């Protein structure tokens, strides 16, 4: 997806919000029809049947007829795709869209007839949206010519974006056959077997302060609404910094190495709540919640996903068992060798190294470590370098 910052006028924002309201209403109404389905009692309406019902609703309701038919039809198409993914076991059952949280719509059609783009200057472009006209956006890069659809979204901080659907080309490797192992952690986000350490941007102190102000504000008050908007803007900036970091880090690694081996971590299970139930309450719930926030801040899942997208067929997932306790020099496994978070001293051969780099070397070897032969990748003889 090629994403750009949209810059609509005040009048254009009103029409965009109406498009979002139409898409949200049609999506929720169609979702309610599908949720009423019970096996053996009645048949759930499919997309074609709901499209015919939409035509009848537009004739009966002037509010819907004033909107774009493309926006409303694509909302039903999004609903149909969500239910298909649910029945295939790829996601949960589709929920309902909420105002202020799920604001957006999609436009699909032939470029030049339903919609179009043009460039005005070096950093300014325009996209033509049905029922609105030409809306300006920041031209940060060229719009792919093969685009057939785009999506307009509004985040919680009040920023409008337009994303053109296009699959980017994979990043080509250097062709040298070089292998790298990547160890993921909380203190050091990424540790490469080549000796590099990457650290994800931490949330700003302003975010924590605004979160405290929001928790102290009275529900339903204007003060709480203003605090919510300020927190959303700060959180959006933190999220943009993290996204910029893992996009650049994944591109850099995909360009410099042919084979990339990474830990096969189930981040969703690792960040589950420890609250438990009333019958069996959990222990150390606050500590586990803090660990979950730290893990999610490191963007482990997003980094791995983008790395697989940019280097398809070159990313190998390695089981993480005992990679932090195994010596990369002699292959001896002992939990006592991990002296601290950053120090590893083998209890068998006395080999000393940074703990994260030692684990990254084991991952690069693909667990090909034996007590006699050692690993395929030798120990590092240089100090680790911190990469922003």
- Annotate the chain with three-state secondary structure: CEEEEEECCHHHHHHHHHHHHHHHHHHHHHHHHHHCCCCCCCCCCCHHHHHHHHHHHHHHCHHHHCCCHHHHHHHHHHHHHHHHHHHCCCCCCCCCCCCCCCEEEEEECCECCCEEEEECCCCEEEEEECCCEEEEEECCCCCCCCCCEEEEEECCCCCEEEEECCCCCCCCCCCCCCEEEEEECCCCCEEECCCEEECCCCCCHHHHHHHHHHHHCCCCCHHHHHHHHHHHHHHHHHHHHHHHHHHHHHHHHHHHCCEEEEECCCHHHHCCCCCECCCCECCCHHHHHHHHHHHHHCCHHHHHHHHHHHCCCCEEEECCCCCCCECCCCCCECHHHECCCCEEECCCCCCEEEHHHHHHHHHHCCCCCECCCECCCCCCCCCCEEEC
| Active-site annotation, residues | 183, 263, 356
């Amino acid at each position: 997806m090629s994403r750009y910052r949209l810059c609509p006028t005040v009048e254009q924002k009103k029409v965009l919000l109406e498009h979002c309201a139409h898409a949200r209403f049609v999506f929720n109404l169609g979702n309610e029809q599908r949720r009423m389905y019970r096996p053996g009692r009645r048949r759930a309406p499919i997309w074609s049947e709901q499209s015919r019902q939409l035509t009848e609703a537009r004739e009966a309701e002037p509010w819907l007829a004033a909107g774009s038919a493309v926006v409303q039809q694509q909302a039903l198409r999004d609903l149909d795709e969500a239910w298909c993914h649910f029945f295939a076991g790829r996601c949960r059952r589709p929920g309902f869209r909420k105002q202020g949280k799920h604001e957006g719509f999609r436009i699909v059609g032939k470029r030049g007839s339903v919609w179009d783009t043009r460039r005005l200057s070096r950093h300014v472009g325009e996209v033509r949206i049905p029922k609105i006209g030409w809306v300006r956006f920041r031209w940060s890069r060229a719009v792919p010519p093969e685009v057939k659809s785009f999506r307009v979204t509004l985040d919680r901080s009040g920023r409008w974006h337009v994303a053109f659907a296009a699959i980017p080309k994979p990043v080509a490797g250097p062709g040298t056959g070089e292998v790298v192992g990547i160890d993921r952690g909380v203190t050091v986000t990424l540790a490469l077997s080549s000796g590099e350490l990457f650290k994800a941007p931490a949330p700003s102190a302003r975010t924590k302060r605004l979160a405290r102000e929001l928790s102290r504000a009275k529900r339903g008050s204007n003060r709480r609404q203003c605090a919510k908007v300020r927190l959303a803007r700060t959180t959006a900036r933190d999220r943009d910094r993290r996204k910029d970091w893992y996009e650049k880090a994944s591109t850099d690694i995909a360009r410099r190495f042919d084979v990339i081996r990474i830990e096969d971590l189930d981040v969703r299970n690792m960040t589950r709540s420890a609250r438990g139930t009333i019958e069996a309450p959990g222990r150390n719930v606050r500590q586990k919640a803090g660990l979950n926030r730290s893990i999610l801040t490191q963007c482990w899942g997003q980094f791995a996903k983008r790395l697989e997208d940019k280097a398809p067929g070159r990313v190998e997932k390695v089981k993480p068992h005992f990679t932090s306790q195994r010596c990369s020099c002699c292959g001896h496994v002992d939990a006592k060798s991990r002296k601290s978070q950053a120090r590893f001293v083998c209890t068998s051969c006395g080999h000393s190294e940074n703990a994260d780099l030692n684990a990254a070397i084991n991952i690069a070897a693909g667990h090909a470590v034996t007590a006699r032969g050692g690993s395929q990748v030798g120990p590092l003889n240089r100090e680790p370098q911190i990469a922003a």
